[in-house]
Amino acid sequence: MSRTLPHHRACVQRLPIIRAMGEFELIDRFFRRDGARTADGVVLGIGDDCALLAPTPGQQLAVSSDMLVEGRHFLSTVHPAHLAHKALAVNLSDLAACGARPLGFTLALALPRADEAFLAPFAQGLFALADAHGIALVGGDTTAGPLNVCITVFGEVPPRQALRRDGAQAGDRVWVSGNLGDARLALEVFRGTLSLPGETFAAVRRAMELPTPRVALGQALRGVASSAIDLSDGLLGDLGHVLKASRVGATLDEATLPCSDAAAALDTSWRRTCLLHGGDDYELLFTAPPGRDAEVQAAAAAAGVRVTAIGRIDAVPGLRVRDARGQPIATASRGFDHFAGEPAPQAA
Amino acid sequence: MSRTLPHHRACVQRLPIIRAMGEFELIDRFFRRDGARTADGVVLGIGDDCALLAPTPGQQLAVSSDMLVEGRHFLSTVHPAHLAHKALAVNLSDLAACGARPLGFTLALALPRADEAFLAPFAQGLFALADAHGIALVGGDTTAGPLNVCITVFGEVPPRQALRRDGAQAGDRVWVSGNLGDARLALEVFRGTLSLPGETFAAVRRAMELPTPRVALGQALRGVASSAIDLSDGLLGDLGHVLKASRVGATLDEATLPCSDAAAALDTSWRRTCLLHGGDDYELLFTAPPGRDAEVQAAAAAAGVRVTAIGRIDAVPGLRVRDARGQPIATASRGFDHFAGEPAPQAA
């Protein structure tokens, strides 16, 4: 586990320092698991300057990195186990969108203090998801600082089989896994703009805090899907990235969008907000030629995930959504932006 | 470039948001360099869910991740180009300590605002060092948040040739590259505890802000050095990691420790603080059998770096430092700890 720039400590009087547990003890107690559960392909894990991985010869390496900041990507009240799950899940979701098999990950963690009440459940949540995917934490960094979780994941994929954003073709069907909108629905309840019965809220909160990365589905779609992306910024925004990269357009049928009963019960305006712009879904959005419908369904069945056809790719640029009567819905393609925040209202 | 959890934006009213430049525009303007200067082995860079790398078949993958936090790892007044250089340099230094050849890196960046006055020089400093090593920025993440720079580097190394911490043998010589202590000396000037003439300060400040990762030396030492580590936490602390991993001891000769004229001019107490405990040197500390002195010198000459023999590895555990007359110096092994801060004073 690498270290950095030790001696600027004089400049951080504002940070609470816990003398009882140091960085090395913290790593040993919560993040080192020598011998046990080391994943395939990990030659050397935590404890040297670098981790050493041995990818399968001939495979390409898929890499993704996501940084989660308190107050921006998670609520300060989130359970540490859920935070850890989500930080790893959003990275695994990127591997899934490439069709890559996960190998391992690094964790860089800035914490206001070395606090067992935080670290023990954080490590538990992290390793529960890592173990479910048979991958190891191979290294990283810990430091004092405002709470920040940065995970980098590594996976492997055969040459020229990675799912990419730029392969969608006119005539392809547009597919999505799972349900859309529940994470946004949960956020609106936290915001106080919507309310839900307790059990229903618990279910959508789970969608928001404990997303399931579609890793098996991504791998099963290699050679079947023509393009793929994971849904983090909302259906229309993320589909927009595919359309731009592939230089095509698309038409979606609103009535086909898969959602929970809770989202289906919303009024039209809120339902569209959650399903079309919601974000944080971590489902796979992908395209495939209609002639491969059976292969798509077989891949989904093998992965144990429901998939739904929601529209088609057009040669004509632009993104169109039709309602149940086939009428166009006016919708700006409002992807979220971490710096721009909410889209500015359009001029009348 | 992957994205995260878009819709928690309601919770960050305290963060200034710049509407003029969004995340995607920021990436396009400052961090995307399509076509140009793509490094060997990068199949797909910024712009999809994952980057795709093609490591040389049969090589192992070396991975390291370091997170730099404002106020803890760098001063708030540091030039953005220097911050970027250092954030990449400390990661490359970890690859150097493994003897790995750098392939690429990801950057996750939390910024209080999307500010061109910061981002333009930051990108310039980042790519200047990346280009010097022929590596590409392959992906990452940007978000609003307290300033935080997390870089993960990837390199490759032939199987069983990585330099590790656990290979030092009794009888080996202990070597170090370059000079020790200048970065700490610069910090003490910033702290106001020491003062230096302007030109001398400029030189040691350069050592602190623009360290040179010993990447070529690390690769040249493959098959020659028995162990290696990079000096981030101070000579005694980092040598302690090697001794612990290798289950050996060491004796160092203070008179042989290489340093600048500025450090040599310090009084004994400050000189020992800077050279033995200084930290932030980013030189390589390594061991090799005495019979390989000529190979060590040839490796150093090939890499264009001076190396100095500073002691020997002992079978007896413990770390001893002798002064110029051969007398033992009393010295606690004071490694820096990112949570414990300064070592607590020892009881009398």
- Residue A225 sits in a domain whose CATH number is 3.90.650.10
Q: What CATH number corresponds to the domain at position A124?
A: 3.30.1330.10
Q: What is the DSSP string of B157-213?
A: E-TT----GGG--TTPEEEEES-SSHHHHHHHHHHTSS---HHHHHHHHHHHHS---
Tokens found for residue A41: 């392909």
Q: How many CB atoms lie under 10 A from the CB of residue A252?
A: 23
pTM of the model: 0.85
Q: Residue A163: its pLDDT value, please?
A: 94
Say if residue B79 is in the same domain as residue B202: no
Domains: count for chain B = 2
Q: Last residue of some domain: B129, B157, B185?
A: B157
Q: Residue A21: its pLDDT value, please?
A: 59
Partner A contacted by B292 (CB < 8 A): no
Give residue-wise pLDDT tens across range A167-184.
999 999 999 999 999 999
Cα of B33 to nearest chain A Cα, Å: 16
Partner A contacted by B18 (CB < 8 A): yes
Contacts with A155 from chain B: Cβ below 8 Å: 50
Mutate to test the interface with B, among A230, A338, A346 (most CBs of B within 10 A): A338
Q: Residue A16: its pLDDT value, please?
A: 32
Indicate the residue type of A113.
R
Average per-residue pLDDT for chain A: 85
Say if residue B190 is in the same domain as residue B321: yes
CA-to-CA dists, residue A144 to A43, A110, A282, A328, angstroms: 29, 5, 30, 52
Say if residue B174 is in the same domain as residue B321: yes
Strand B148-157 and strand B60-69: the pairing is antiparallel
Question: What backbone torsions phi and psi does residue A194 show, to the nearest 5 degrees?
Answer: -130, 160
Cα of B242 to nearest chain A Cα, Å: 9
Q: Is the dihedral of CA B8, B11, B13, B16 positive or negative?
A: negative
Decide if A72 is inside a domain.
Answer: yes
Say if residue B127 is in the same domain as residue B189: no
Say if residue A112 is in the same domain as residue A192: no
Give residue-wise pLDDT tens across range A206-242.
999 999 999 999 999 999 999 999 999 899 999 999 9
CA angle centred on B158, ends B154 and B162, rounded to 5°: 75
Strand-pairing partners, residue B52, are A62, B44
Q: Could you tell me if B7 and A337 are in contact, meaning their C-beta atoms sit under 8 angstroms apart?
A: no
Decide if B184 is inside a domain.
Answer: yes
Q: Residue B138: its pLDDT value, please?
A: 87
Instruction: List, in order, residues 6 or more apart from A67 with CB less than 8 Å away.
Output: A148, A149, A150, B4, B108, B109, B110, B141, B143, B145, B148, B150
Decide if A117 is inside a domain.
Answer: yes
Structural domain of residue A263, as residue ranges? 173-329
Which of B26, B162, B230 has its CB closest to that of A339? B26
Say if residue B65 is in the same domain as residue B174: no
A77 — pLDDT class (breaks 50, 70, 90) = confident
Q: How many CB atoms lie under 10 A from the CB of residue A231?
A: 26
Decide if A266 is inside a domain.
Answer: yes
Decide if B271 is inside a domain.
Answer: yes
What percent of chain A is predicted at pLDDT more than 70? 85
Residue A336 has pLDDT above 50, yes or no: no
Contacts with B50 from chain A: Cβ below 8 Å: 62-64, 94-95, 97-98, 100, 155, 162
Say if residue B71 is in the same domain as residue B146: yes
d(CA A125, CA A149): 13
Q: Which of A39-48, A323-332, B233-242 has the highest mean pLDDT?
A: B233-242
Decide if B341 is inside a domain.
Answer: no
Partner B contacted by A56 (CB < 8 A): no
Q: Residue A24: its pLDDT value, please?
A: 65
Say if residue B120 is in the same domain as residue B204: no
Say if residue B223 is in the same domain as residue B131: no
How many contacts, defined by CB atoms under 8 Å, are there between A and B?
A: 382
Give residue-wise pLDDT tens across range A90-134.
999 999 999 999 999 999 999 988 788 899 999 999 999 999 999
Say if residue B59 is in the same domain as residue B192: no
Tokens found for residue A74: 């998670």
Q: Could you tell me if A326 and A231 are in contact, meaning their C-beta atoms sit under 8 angstroms apart?
A: no
CA-to-CA dists, residue B169 to B252, B285, B300, B345, angstroms: 15, 14, 21, 33
Residue A156 has pLDDT above 70, yes or no: yes
Say if residue B122 is in the same domain as residue B174: no
Give residue-wise pLDDT tens across range B103-160.
999 999 999 887 888 999 999 999 999 999 999 898 888 888 999 999 999 999 998 9
ipTM: 0.83
Say if residue B143 is in the same domain as residue B234: no
Decide if A166 is inside a domain.
Answer: no
Decide if A2 is inside a domain.
Answer: no
Question: Chain B neighbours among A 228-247 (CB < 8 Å)?
Answer: 228-230, 232-234, 237, 245
Q: Residue A11: its pLDDT value, please?
A: 27
More confident residue, A86 or B27: A86
Partner A contacted by B122 (CB < 8 A): no
Low-confidence ranges of chain B (pLDDT < 50): 1-20, 35-37, 333-348
Tokens found for residue B266: 């310090």
A23 — pLDDT class (breaks 50, 70, 90) = low
